[in-house]
Each structure stands twice: as C-alpha cells, then as structure tokens.
C-alpha cells in the first residue's frame, strides 16, 4: 500500500556560515533557508530545504513552499506524479522565480522521503551506487592578499579545487587575486573563477580573453545568464571552458542553453532545476550533449544526484545548511564521500534551528 503525505512543515532560518560570502553584487552574511519536513502516514519524514539569497525574500519563499505543499498534502508519496501535478496546477502562472525555487525544495524533500521509505540513500534508490565525487571549495571575493589564506585552507581541508569570485572594479585586481591563488595552490588543486553575471559583454570578452593563459579550470557566468547569444560568443572566442547553469529555471532552459552552445560545461542547481525530478531530466540532456555536469550548492542532494549523473564532474561545496545538520561533510583525497544513510542524509539539529530561526 502506497504511503500518503499527511502534512508538510516549513521553518524559516538564517543559517550560519563559516565566513560571509562576498560577491560582486553584495555580501551574504547568513543563508536564508526554508527547511522542509514532509510527514507521511507511515511515520517516514523527508527533509530538504530551499534557499534564497536575500533575507527580505525569506517570508515570500516560505509562503510559496507552504502553498505548494498544500497542493501535495493528502496525495500518495510518488514524487514524479506530484511534480507533474504541481506543474499542471501552476501552468497558467509558470514555474520560475520563487515558485520554481519552492517546487525544487519541495521536490527534494519528497524524494528524500521516498528513498527513506526504501531505507536506501537516494543514489542507490535511483539505481546508482555511491562513489566519491571530485570536490571544490567555493568561496567569495578575495583580493590578492586575502586569497592566499583561503587557498591554504582549501589545501588543508583536502579539496581538489577552489572557486573564487571575480569581478573587482579593475581587471588588474582580478588578475592579481587569480595569480596569488594559483601560486598558493600550486599543482595540488584546480582553480575556477565565478563572475556572477557582473560584467558587460564587452568587458567580459576582454577579461576572459586576457585570462585565457592563466590555467583556469573554468570561467563561470561572466555575463547575464539569459544572454545565451553573448555567452556563446564568449565560449567560442576563448579556450578556457565557460561554465553556467545555476540559473537554469527548469530543464527546458538548460535544453535551450545547450542548443545555443552557450557554455562548454553545465552546473544546474538542484533547486532551480526543479528538484530531483528536474535534475534527472537535466542529466539526460547533459549526457546526450556530451557535457560534463557539475552541481551548484545543495551539497547533500548534489552528492547523491551526481552519483546518478552519467557525465558527473565536480561537486561545489558551499555548505549552506552545514550549521544546522548533524553529519559533517567527509572530504578525502580531493573527493567528497556521500553519506551512506537513507535519503539525502539530512538530520536537523533542533537546537541550532531554534537558535537561527527567522
């Protein structure tokens, strides 16, 4: 007999971070999250979270998750069917922005419950086996002096790569930080940079061309992510791989970007891509196109999903929920070891949730 969803609870929190994440467009001091708990009539509870970068938008995200949850409560725990049901219900409005984010977080919690009901890690329940995933340390914007300590910390923690933000007012500042990080990392770890869509097309083309001989693993989102033509022109003009994907709102946008040849690599966000259901479709697109596929944040779900991704590349480690979670991350020899526990491995620390509840 299929279990049913009896209730879905949401909790807004401002999650603690080891250090603020500075970007070219602002600083994230705490991560605004909506924790999602899916309760069933078999006492199985699925857990996940949705995130939004601005605390001012946290109440709106919580309402969006709760409203979608109301549409799913009482239904059998069949994540694909619920996903299709919610898409149909919201077809007139669309599934982008906060509503798409809410769908992604809720979908992850439903799949977590589904895997827990089978007493298996999500990857194994999806037909894959757990395996180590190449991991990189993802941090903010640091100048040439500050970045050396970040690089040393990255090596000490055992990561295989480091991603730093770029987008200083001048290219000279970008270049100085990149070279300082490269020198500190040596040959022990790869270096990626992320512009977070901060450059104009002309400036991006100039900076990316100037960085072509710096040995970067990739340059991420130099211009607006929806300027697919511009992204494609930059990708064609330089040899350093262009990375994008965290702003794909659902698999259809990833399909369009691939058709436009907008990047050499893809890295969907499990939330924005519409959860586990959307990720599985996206991974099939990446396989067909032959594109290496990495993850954006959501390290718990990403670790499981990358195990089931044919072209899996890197896992990003920016641990938004780490301060609220019982189990620590396991990094060894440059690889993240997915948790061999039912679902995606999230067990909340209730004391920390009470402390950081918004």
Is 332 known to be catalytic?
A: no
Percent of the chain with pLDDT over 70: 99
pLDDT tens across 271-323, in order? 999 999 999 999 999 999 999 999 999 999 999 999 999 999 999 999 999 99
Residue 28 pLDDT: 83
- Of 83, 137, 163, 165, catalytic: 165
Is 3.90.1170.50 the CATH number for 124-336? no
pTM, 2 dp: 0.95
243 bridge partner residues: 220, 265
Residue 1 pLDDT: 63
In the chain, which residues have pLDDT < 50?
A: none
- Give the tokens for residue 12: 């807004």
Phi first, then psi: give them for residue 117, nearest 5 degrees: -65, -25
State the CATH class of domain 5-119+350-356. alpha beta
How many residues are given for the chain? 358
Is 165 known to be catalytic?
A: yes
- Give the tokens for residue 277: 């259901």
Nearby residues of 27 by Cβ (< 8 Å), 6 or more positions away: 20, 21, 140
Residue 19 pLDDT: 81
Kindly report each contact of residues 74-77 with a partner whose C-beta sits within 8 Å and lies 24 or more positions away, as own/partner: 74/4, 74/5, 74/6, 75/4, 75/5, 76/2, 76/3, 76/4, 76/5, 77/2, 77/3, 77/4, 77/5, 77/38, 77/40, 77/44, 77/110, 77/113, 77/114, 77/117
Question: SS3 for 258-303, per residue?
Answer: HHCCCCCEECCCCCCCCHHHHHHHHHHHHHHHCCCECCCCCHHHHH
């Amino acid at each position: 007999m299929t279990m049913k969803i009896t209730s879905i609870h949401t909790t807004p929190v401002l999650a603690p971070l080891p250090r603020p994440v500075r970007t070219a467009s602002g600083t994230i001091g705490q991560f605004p999250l909506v924790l999602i708990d899916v309760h069933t009539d078999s006492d199985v509870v699925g857990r996940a979270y949705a995130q939004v970068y601005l605390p001012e938008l946290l109440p709106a995200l919580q309402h969006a998750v709760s409203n979608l949850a109301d549409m799913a409560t009482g239904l059998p725990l069949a994540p694909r069917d619920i996903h299709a049901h919610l898409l149909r219900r919201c077809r007139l409005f669309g599934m982008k922005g906060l509503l798409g984010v809410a769908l992604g977080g809720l979908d992850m919690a439903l799949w977590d419950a589904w895997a827990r009901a089978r007493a298996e890690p999500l990857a194994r329940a999806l037909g894959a086996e757990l395996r180590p995933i190449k991991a990189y340390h993802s941090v903010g914007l640091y100048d040439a002096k500050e970045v050396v300590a970040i690089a040393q910390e990255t090596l000490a923690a055992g990561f295989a790569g480091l991603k730093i933000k770029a987008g200083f007012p001048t290219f000279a500042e970008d270049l100085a930080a990149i070279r300082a990080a490269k020198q500190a990392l040596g040959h022990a770890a790869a270096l990626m940079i992320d512009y977070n869509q901060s450059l104009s097309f002309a400036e991006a083309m100039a900076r990316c061309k100037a960085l072509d001989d710096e040995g970067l693993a990739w340059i991420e989102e130099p211009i607006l992510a929806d300027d697919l033509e511009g992204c494609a022109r930059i990708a064609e003009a330089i040899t350093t791989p262009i990375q994008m994907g965290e702003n794909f709102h659902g698999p259809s946008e990833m399909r369009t970007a691939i058709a436009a040849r907008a990047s050499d690599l893809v890295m969907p966000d499990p939330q924005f891509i519409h959860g586990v259901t959307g990720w599985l479709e996206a991974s099939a697109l990446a396989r067909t196109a032959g594109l290496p596929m990495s993850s954006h944040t959501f390290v718990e779900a990403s670790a499981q999903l990358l195990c089931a991704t044919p072209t899996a590349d890197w896992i990003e480690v920016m641990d938004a929920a780490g301060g609220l979670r019982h189990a620590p991350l396991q990094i060894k020899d440059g690889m993240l070891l997915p948790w061999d526990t039912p679902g995606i491995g999230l067990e909340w620390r209730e004391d920390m949730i009470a402390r950081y509840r918004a």
